[in-house]
């Protein structure tokens, strides 16, 4: 496989939305607000999970990991994007591009597996409530989280060098606002079918298998909920799982479209807006989705603010 004259250095030009100057100004202010909300929301989840004993449960341990993933993802891409949206400077260093690509692939792979782990956690909570803490013991939780992180990083360690080694024949202009794999494949001047084929193959254990596990877990949960006779019991089970189902829907709807098809097939404009949604909307919404209906987290917030009523914390588990 050819190696381009940029494989050892040189800046890239991220075109982003430069063909729409008015849209850039609008996106700058919108993205700034979303980024600040994402950082504040996910940092709050991590802080509360660490300081409040009521949140020292497997569900919140995995939620803390999800928030950390979202922080890593947004911080690796959004500040650079805001600089490009605000002014004429559109360049990113070779090292910066590599860091973005590595972060995107690592976080995406890790989140796929982590969401399947969280689905299993919800399955145990609903289907085996009396054995929940015995099954989801701290050692198993650490092992599952470590497996998710290591799998995502391993995927990135393999795919990042292969993507960056594709010959580009001096092409430095990337029609995107971040260095992500489909955009980098598009500027290659050599046959990238082997890299695309490997990416599609790795998507099976990284994306599709976790998705199948999520569907199986919720199949069992649905069957268990159907056997609950009381409306209150069914409502509690639904509240236990609804937040996770919403996050899974947001995540997989964008990630499958972006990475489960060859880079030259997807519409470039669609790819930009989907990546923008994945970069900002999902990390911003996740903390709100998990906290709006969660009495444990609401109670932890009131405690930190000095408004704890003393009886809060009987939230949905």
- CATH code of residue 223: 1.20.1070.10
pLDDT, residue 257, reads 65
Q: Residue 226 falls within a domain, yes or no? A: yes
Q: Residue 75 falls within a domain, yes or no? A: yes
List the one residue out of 274, 244, 286, 266 whose CA is nearest residue 104.
274
CA 298 – CA 313 distance, rounded (Å): 8
155 Cβ neighbours under 8 A, 6+ residues apart: 105, 106, 109, 202, 206
Q: Residue 269 falls within a domain, yes or no? A: no
Q: Residue 285 falls within a domain, yes or no? A: yes
CA 154 – CA 135 distance, rounded (Å): 27
pLDDT, residue 292, reads 66
Q: Which regions in the chain score pLDDT beneath 50?
A: 1-8, 262-266, 309-317
| Residue-wise pLDDT tens digits, 53-85 | 888 889 899 999 999 999 998 898 888 888 888
- Residue 45's φ and ψ, nearest 5 degrees, are -60, -45
List the strands of the sheet with 91-92, edge to edge: 91-92, 12-14, 173-174
Q: Residue 5 falls within a domain, yes or no? A: no
Return the residue matching tokens 């024949």.
169
- Which ranges constitute the DSSP H helices of 169-230? 181-186, 193-203, 209-226
pLDDT, residue 259, reads 55
Q: Residue 278 falls within a domain, yes or no? A: yes
Q: Taking the CA of residue 220 as centre, how many other CA atoms within 13 Å lie in the half-sphere pointing to its CB?
A: 15
Q: Residue 255 falls within a domain, yes or no? A: yes
Return the residue matching tokens 């999800």.
66
The whole domain housing 174 covers 12-259+274-297
The pair of structure tokens assigned to 200 is 């599609």
How many domains, in total, are found in the chain?
Answer: 1
Q: Distances from the Cα of 202 to the Cαs of 151, 185, 197, 207, in angstroms?
A: 11, 16, 9, 8
Q: Residue 312 falls within a domain, yes or no? A: no
**Between β-strands 12-14 and 173-174, what pairing exists: parallel, antiparallel or unpaired?**
parallel
Q: Is 10 left (phi over 0), alpha (psi -120 to 50) or beta?
A: left
């Amino acid at each position: 496989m050819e190696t381009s004259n940029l494989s050892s250095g040189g800046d890239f030009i991220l075109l982003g939305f430069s063909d729409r100057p008015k849209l850039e100004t609008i996106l700058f202010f919108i993205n700034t607000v979303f980024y600040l909300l994402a950082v504040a929301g996910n940092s709050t989840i991590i802080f509360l999970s660490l300081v409040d004993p009521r949140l020292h449960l497997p569900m919140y341990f995995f939620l803390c990991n999800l928030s950390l993933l979202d922080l890593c993802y947004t911080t690796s891409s959004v500040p650079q994007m805001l600089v490009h949206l605000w002014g004429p400077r559109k360049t990113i260093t070779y090292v910066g591009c590599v860091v973005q690509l590595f972060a995107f692939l690592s976080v995406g792979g890790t989140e796929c597996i982590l969401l399947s782990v969280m689905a299993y956690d919800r399955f145990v909570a609903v289907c085996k409530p009396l054995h929940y803490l015995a099954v989801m013991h701290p050692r198993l939780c650490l092992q599952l989280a470590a497996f998710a992180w290591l799998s995502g990083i391993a995927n990135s360690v393999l795919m990042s060098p292969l993507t960056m080694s594709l010959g580009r024949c001096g092409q430095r202009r990337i029609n995107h606002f971040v260095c992500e794999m489909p955009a980098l494949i598009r500027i290659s001047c050599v046959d990238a079918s082997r890299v695309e084929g490997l990416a599609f193959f790795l998507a099976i254990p990284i994306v599709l298998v976790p998705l199948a596990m999520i569907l199986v877990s919720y199949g069992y949960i649905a069957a268990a909920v159907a056997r609950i006779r009381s409306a209150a019991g069914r409502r509690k089970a639904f509240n236990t799982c609804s937040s996770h189902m919403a996050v899974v829907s947001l995540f997989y709807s964008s990630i499958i479209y972006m990475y489960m098809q060859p880079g030259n097939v997807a519409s470039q404009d669609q790819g930009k807006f989907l990546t923008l949604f994945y970069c900002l909307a999902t990390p911003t919404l996740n903390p709100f989705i998990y906290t709006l209906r969660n009495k444990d987290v609401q109670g932890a917030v009131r405690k930190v603010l000095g408004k704890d009523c003393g009886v809060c914390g009987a939230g949905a588990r």
